[in-house]
Amino acid sequence: MEKISNVEAEQALLGAMLTKNETFYLLPADFEEGQFYEPLHSAIFIQIRNCINAGEKCDLFVIARYFDKENKLDALGGAKLYLTKLVQAAFSMTNFSAVAKQIIDLSERRVLLSICHQAIEKMQNLSDEQTSGELAAWLGASVEKLSTASRFNITTEKQVTEKLLAMLQSGKGIERSQTGIVGLDAAMDGGLYAGKLYGIVGRKKMGKTMLAGTISHNLQKTGHKHLYLALEMGSIEIHQRSIAREIGCKEAAFRLGASTRILEQIAEYVRTAENHRLYLDAPCLSFDDLRHILPQYIRKHKIKGFILDCWQLVGGKDRGKSTAEHLDEVAQWLAECCKKHQIWGLVTAQENQDENTRGGEGIRLACDQIYRICKRDESCTEAWLEMMETRYTRWQDVGSENSPSLLMSENGTHYHTISN
């Protein structure tokens, strides 16, 4: 394996702790002995930690006595000589925390390199019964496990307060993306917040996809880059509504044969499109595919959020698991993905006639907010949203049966807010 290490940094870190024991408590919460490249440094760190945790004074003489008994440093001129070298190395260190984080990062790079080598070996030895998708899923899970292992950090009350103060002083507040639907943004306390998962549920033909497409179009117009995962309708079918809305014609015009004028308008739309919306046609998306693709898109395209239409169509259920268990896991992973990558997520889901989500209640448990889209009947062009769950706002419906908040456009392309 290629050498990815900084032995001098490891020496300086250990020397700093021997010189001033208090620096031990400045280590990141996820720092471990296994993150040292040099095994000897891991052994020295363990002895320093044991000594400090026991409430004893820890310096090079105390540690030297231990290693002299074990004869582990004789080849380096003796324990006292090598530990003195560590203390001297600490004098050149200016930022203890930064050095500790560098050692952690180099350790993770070595693990990542090992994963890459294993992936190459697995690819070269792939049997006829195995698929490249299975290998990609293994690779994605391995990388996800690596990133999960180092994502937790303890911060003090003062650090959290300072972070909050800086955020408020910037005038930006917590990052959010407005849906463009006035009542819904108000119920969300300003829009879709980074780190939160939202749900829209409803019976068949209630207009879930139209509402999701409306929100997506509004986000596109205001420059909020996002990914639309189309598991039910294809991207062409969904995007036709956006284009028809923009140029003021019926969606059916594209199916019946577009006029020269409409073709010219579409060409102009193409010319001015700013690509704030990405589509992924995924009619047979599996859970493994989702876990592999979504983090990749987040990193590569710097999206602020995603819309997944719809939750029950994420396949790839493991043998021995019920549909409800599978979908619970999908919903919980989506919520964790939003928090980890600090993006928002909007998921649609279908209800049955008893107003229970098909496939279980996992989506209701995972979402920070969830709304039911309601109509008097399927043919009605007016709708409203009933809040079903919320974790951070007061309870507030968006309209009601007597005062609907959403009206389908005359062209049947999108919803807009009813002014009451």
pLDDT digits (tens, 9 = 90+) for 216-275: 999 999 999 999 999 988 888 888 888 888 888 887 777 777 678 888 888 888 887 778
- Which of the two residues, 196 and 62, has the higher pLDDT score? 196
Q: What is the Cα–Cα distance from 215 to 276, expressed in whole angstroms?
A: 13
List, in order, residues 6 or more apart from 339 with CB less than 8 Å away: 195
Residue 162 has pLDDT above 50, yes or no: yes
Joined tokens for residue 109: 């790079």
Q: What is the pLDDT of residues 106-137, one digit of tens each?
A: 998 998 888 888 888 888 887 777 777 778 87
pLDDT class of 1 with cuts at 50, 70, 90? very low
For 220-237, give the DSSP string: HHTT--EEEEESSS-HHH
Residue 370, pLDDT > 90, answer yes
Q: How many CA atoms lie within 13 A of 124 on its CB side?
A: 6
For the chain, the average pLDDT equals 86
Whether residue 399 has pLDDT greater than 90:
yes
Q: Which residues contact residue 103 at a Cβ distance below 8 angstroms, ignoring those fewer than 6 apart? A: 6, 9, 10, 13, 31, 35, 36
Q: How many CB atoms lie within 10 A of CB 257?
A: 7
pLDDT > 70: percent of the chain: 91
Provide DSSP, 273-324: ----EEEEE-TT-BHHHHHHHHHHHHHHH--SEEEEE-GGG-B-PPTT--HH
pLDDT value at residue 41 = 93
Is the predicted pLDDT of residue 151 greater than 60, yes or no? no
CA gyration radius for the chain? Answer: 28
Token pair in block for residue 96:
């203890």
pLDDT of residue 76: 64
d(Cα 220, Cα 325) in Å, to the nearest integer? 34
Q: Which domains does the chain have, with CATH numbers?
A: 1-154 (1.10.860.10), 176-417 (3.40.50.300)
Tell me what pLDDT residue 373 has.
95
- Say what the pLDDT of residue 31 is: 85
Instruction: Indicate the pLDDT class of residue 167, thresholds 50, 70 and 90.
Output: low
Q: pLDDT of 42-88, one tens digit each?
A: 989 999 988 887 778 888 888 888 887 766 666 666 678 888 889 99
Q: Is 390 helix (H, G, I), strand (E, B) or coil?
A: strand
What is residue 29's DSSP assignment? Answer: T
| Residues 303, 255: Cα–Cα separation, whole Å | 31
Q: For residue 409, give the 3-state DSSP assignment.
A: coil
Alpha helices in 73-169 (DSSP H): 79-90, 96-124, 132-149, 157-169
Neighbours of 160 (CB within 10 A): 10
pTM above 0.75, yes or no: no
pLDDT tens digit string along 291-313?
Answer: 888 888 887 888 999 999 989 99
Name, of 157-166, 219-228, 316-325, the range with top average pLDDT: 219-228
The answer to whether residue 315 scores a pLDDT higher than 60 is yes
